[in-house]
Structure 1
Amino acid sequence: MGQQAGAEGVWRRVHPDNLVLLETTTGTVAIELALDAAPQHVAQFRKAVRSGVFEGEFFYRVIEGHVAQAGLEFEQRLAGWPDLPLEAERTVAADGFVPLGNADLFAATAGHRDGFAAGRDGEQEWLLNCPGALGLARSAAPDTGSIEFFIPLGPRRYLDRNYTIFGRVIDGMDNVNRLKRVDPEAAENYPDLFEKDEAASNAAFAARAARLAGNEILSVSLAIDLPVATRPDYEVMATPSAEWETLKTSKRDYSEIDAFVHTPPMVLDMCSLPVPARRVTPQTGD
């Protein structure tokens, strides 16, 4: 399933198989999945989306400057979703990787591949924990994640290569940022949550829902599963492209700003300039 180029090759179309539409109480969030970087994670996430398991759930851990995390929250609820091996990095040739153009604090070389922020060291490559990345939450062991996901609210580069990144927000990050800040609750704080007494369990889940009100996931869908006539369509600026290089230069060179007393150094922080994406008129023929 190859990506399709937009006008004059400047824009790359997001295939609807890799486009997730996450509807929250704060608005719509569009996510592109990184199939090549983390195929097992993408496959399981697609399965989870199609199962409807996320609908009516919450972003239950939203820490200012850190991450917004969502899913079923408690291990007791994750039975049936197999743990995944860590896919935080892979061995891949440099062809198609576009270096940022200046040094990075965390990677030997930082840049982009198909619009995804990435780092490289030799033949190893990994996606970065920049704001808007889609990562898999897990316990301490590297192969303990299944479907709980997180979105960094700020640069969390120390997580690079330690947690699998398998997508990124391409539209609606403002809606993620508007989520209510909330700390997760330990299961023992809801003593009746998993009791056999159905009434007590329902009351405990109702209390949880009240605490997390405002962070609800209303629906999640893959664009490929929506009717073509109503399916949103997105394009991402092609990397590499002359337009991307021009944009990077414009954000690196402030020498023409008369108001600056001290001209900033001509460097670009890896997470400060996400590759632009845009919603376009839907195409047909998928």
Structure 2
Amino acid sequence: MIRSRALLSGLLLAAVSAPAMAASVAGPSERDWRAPAPETIMVIDTNKGRVLVELVPEVAPAHVARLQELTRAGVYDGRTFFRVIDRFMAQTGDPTNTGEGASDKPNLKAEFTFRRAADTAFVPMAAPAGLEVGYLKSLPIVSQAWSWSDMTADKKVSAWGTYCPGVVGMARDEDNNSANSQFFLMRQPYPSLDKRYTAFGRVVAGLDVVRAIKTGEPVPAPQDQMLKVRLLSDIPESERPKVRLIDPKGPWFAAETKRLRALKGADFSVCDIDPPVELR
């Protein structure tokens, strides 16, 4: 469990490494970029550098709303990374900096999966064993095959974020509905967390910063910190970074997917793709 105090270390046995990738296809053109909604970008300034996270409300609306609310209230400013495991994740977001705390908001109901509709902006990449894998904005997704929608009352299928490097999830205790304020950022892929912890966003810039955070269970003092956490929409225009993210519906993404599938064959994973980001 990714809990307020401890993780089940045995889960580490399931950790896997993303394979080294060959040279990429030609760089993105203008039509490959998208401008994210500024209220969905968390700008996390740490003592190790800046991290940008895109929140994806389509997959976990209540969790995204909570992160936005706590960010705007300044709850995450000065929070430490109190539990960080190499080749796994970095955990933070405790208002008490002890690993035991939570905000004064009620706990959240789990959003481990969401219902994917025909108009959901999901871009499939492959269809292994009756599933579909692909992207929704910056978040890698696993979904039931769309053919299942013919047999569901709502004409939708179940889907969920999968824990590739950079994916952001919500910590909880044994109770599935005990998530509150603590969250974790993946340093490496860890698919055994899928459908057990709510995934709601992904690091789109600064994964190297996440991987540079001091490790420990718990982390010994002095611990690394989130010095200031803001939503892009709340940063003054004169200070606001300009962010463009790759559009999974664009030609660069399609070409890179085709290249990686040819390169990896049966070993292809949705985690293999590394979507570019443009910062100015």
TM-score by length of 1: 0.77
Which residue of 256, 259, 273 maps to 1:250? 259
Output the CA distance in 1 between the equivalents of 2:100 and 2:115: 35
Match of 1:226 among 227, 231, 235: 235
Distance 1:273 1:79, change over 3 A: closer
Per-residue deviation, 1:79: 5.1
Deviation at 1:76, TM superposition (A): 5.9
Residue type of the alignment partner of 2:131: A
Alignment partner of 1:238 is 2:247: yes
Matched residue type, 1:115: S
> Normalized against structure 2, the TM-score is what?
0.79
> Could you tell me how far 1:9 is from its partner in structure 2?
3.5
- 1:126 matched to 2:165: no
Counterpart of 2:106? 82
1:52 aligns with 2:74: yes
Of 114, 122, 131, the match for 1:108: 131
Structure with greater Cα Rg: 1
Contact 1:248 1:268 in 2 (8 A): no
| 1:257-284 alpha-carbon deviations (Å, 9 max, x no partner) | xxxxxxx53652221213222214xxxx
What does the per-residue CA deviation read over 1:190-244, in whole Å, with 9 as the maximum and x for residues that have no partner? xxxxxxxxxxxxxxxxxxxxx3325111110111111112111211111112211
User: What 5-or-longer segments of structure 1 have no aligned partner?
Assistant: 1-5, 186-210, 255-263, 281-286
Q: Does residue 91 of the first structure (1) align with residue 144 of the second (2)?
A: no
> How many angstroms apart in 2 are the aligned matches of 1:247 and 1:184?
39
The unaligned stretches of length 5 or more in structure 2 are: 1-27, 149-156
CA distance in 2, matches of 1:15, 1:31: 12
Q: Matches of 1:91 and 1:134 in 2, distance apart?
A: 19
1:157 paired residue number? 191
Per-residue Cα deviation, 1:18-74 (whole angstroms, up to 9, x for no partner): 111101111000111111211111111111111212222211110011111002254
Q: Does 1:12 align with 2:34?
A: yes
> Is the CA contact 2:138–2:202 (under 8 Å) kept in the aligned structure 1?
no
Aligned to 1:270: 270
User: 1:29 corresponds to which residue?
Assistant: 51
Equivalent of 2:202 in 168, 185, 210: 168
Partners of 1:182 and 1:212 within 8 A in 2:
no
State the Cα RMSD in Å: 2.1
How far apart in 2 are the matches of 1:77 and 1:97? 35
Q: In 1, distance between residues paired with 2:270 and 2:104?
A: 38
Residue 80 of structure 1 deviates from its aligned partner by 1.0
Q: Which residue number corresponds to residue 64 of structure 1?
A: 86
Letter in 1 for 2:125: L
User: What is the identity percentage for the equivalent residue pairs of Structure 1 and Structure 2?
Assistant: 28
Equivalent position amino acid for 2:162 in 1: L
Q: 1: distance between equivalents of 2:65 and 2:93?
A: 17
Count of residues paired in the alignment: 239
Q: Is the 8 A contact 1:61 1:183 kept in 2?
A: yes
Contact persistence 1:54–1:71 (CA under 8 A):
yes
Quick one: distance in 2 between partners of 1:250 and 1:76? 45
Task: Evaluate the alpha carbon distance shift between residue 212 and residue 108 of structure 1 in structure 2; reply closer, same or farther with a 3 A threshold.
Answer: farther
